[in-house]
Chain A
Amino acid sequence: DGGITQSPKYLFRKEGQNVTLSCEQNLNHDAMYWYRQDPGQGLRLIYYSQIVNDFQKGDIAEGYSVSREKKESFPLTVTSAQKNPTAFYLCASSIPTGNTGELFFGEGSRLTVL
């Protein structure tokens, strides 16, 4: 079935450790996104990528890094520089000219820093 797969679903991290969240899509979409969701704050855009080997910062990119080496994959690394990383992370993709198309979301990854 076509869709977006995020892994892991739950992740625990000690302070000071980097962690990478996986996002894979088989929808042949060019654009991919990472959002962070905190209670009462809705979804905030971390990074997005319109094509392979290119990506742009969203509104809260500090402490995060991404790569887009393949069309299907858009991993997100939460670095130790992110001061409050505990959150629910959602990956999404859309067809080209993404601002006209709907977003397809994965089931999310919940990161907890111990």
Chain B
Amino acid sequence: AQKVTQAQTEISVVEKEDVTLDCVYETRDTTYYLFWYKQPPSGELVFLIRRNSFDEQNEISGRYSWNFQKSTSSFNFTITASQVVDSAVYFCALSERSSASKIIFGSGTRLSIRP
């Protein structure tokens, strides 16, 4: 069965600090996809990144970076030089190829950036 765990319920940092959001997943499939979404106060989730299980290269997009490690079943998300606009709830998600279209989310991490 697929499962996503985000152990950090809430994180609060001061602006300009770096912050890492953890995501640990469980799956029996060898082919799967991992995602990160951002939910700002407006409520609508915004897609950030997708990774397939065969691509373990780290990804960097501006101040955002993602570290995918199959050996530890983790897909962590780091924000460098955080800004107040980064305040949101962040969700990690998993989709197994065998489950066809079923995407499961973690419980989310609420990130607060203090000015």
List the interface of chain A (C-beta within 8 A of B): 31, 33, 35, 40-45, 48, 50, 56, 58-59, 88, 90, 92, 94, 97-108
Q: How far is the CB of B54 from chain A (nearest CB, A)?
A: 12
Q: Which residues of B contact A97 (CB under 8 A)?
A: 100-101
Q: Which residues of A contact B96 (CB under 8 A)?
A: 99
- How many residue pairs, one in A and one in B, have C-beta atoms under 8 Å apart? 71
Q: Which of A42, A90, A94, A106 contacts B101 (CB 8 A)?
A: A94
Q: How far is the CB of B64 from chain A (nearest CB, A)?
A: 15
Q: How far is the CB of A93 from chain B (nearest CB, A)?
A: 11
Q: Is the CB–CB distance between A102 and B47 below 8 Å?
A: yes
Q: Is the CB–CB distance between B91 and A42 below 8 Å?
A: yes
Chain B residue with Cβ nearest A96 = B101
Beyond contacts A35-B105, A99-B100, A99-B101: 7 other A-B pairs, Cβ-Cβ < 8 A, are: A42-B6, A90-B43, A90-B45, A98-B103, A99-B97, A102-B50, A103-B35
Q: Is the CB–CB distance between B102 and A48 below 8 Å?
A: yes
We find that the number of chain B residues with CB closer than 8 angstroms to chain A is: 27
8 residue pairs, one from A and one from B, having the closest CB atoms:
A98-B101, A99-B95, A42-B107, A43-B105, A102-B47, A105-B45, A42-B108, A108-B43
Q: Which residues of A contact B105 (CB under 8 A)?
A: 35, 42-45
Chain A residue with Cβ nearest B97 = A99
Q: How far is the CB of B75 from chain A (nearest CB, A)?
A: 15
A105 to B47, CA, bound (A): 9
Q: What does the 1/0 interface line of B33-55 toward A look like (CB < 8 Å)?
A: 10101000011111100101000
A-B contact pairs, 18 of them (CB 8 A): A33-B103, A42-B91, A42-B108, A44-B105, A45-B103, A50-B101, A56-B102, A90-B45, A98-B101, A99-B96, A99-B100, A102-B50, A103-B37, A103-B103, A105-B46, A106-B44, A107-B43, A108-B43
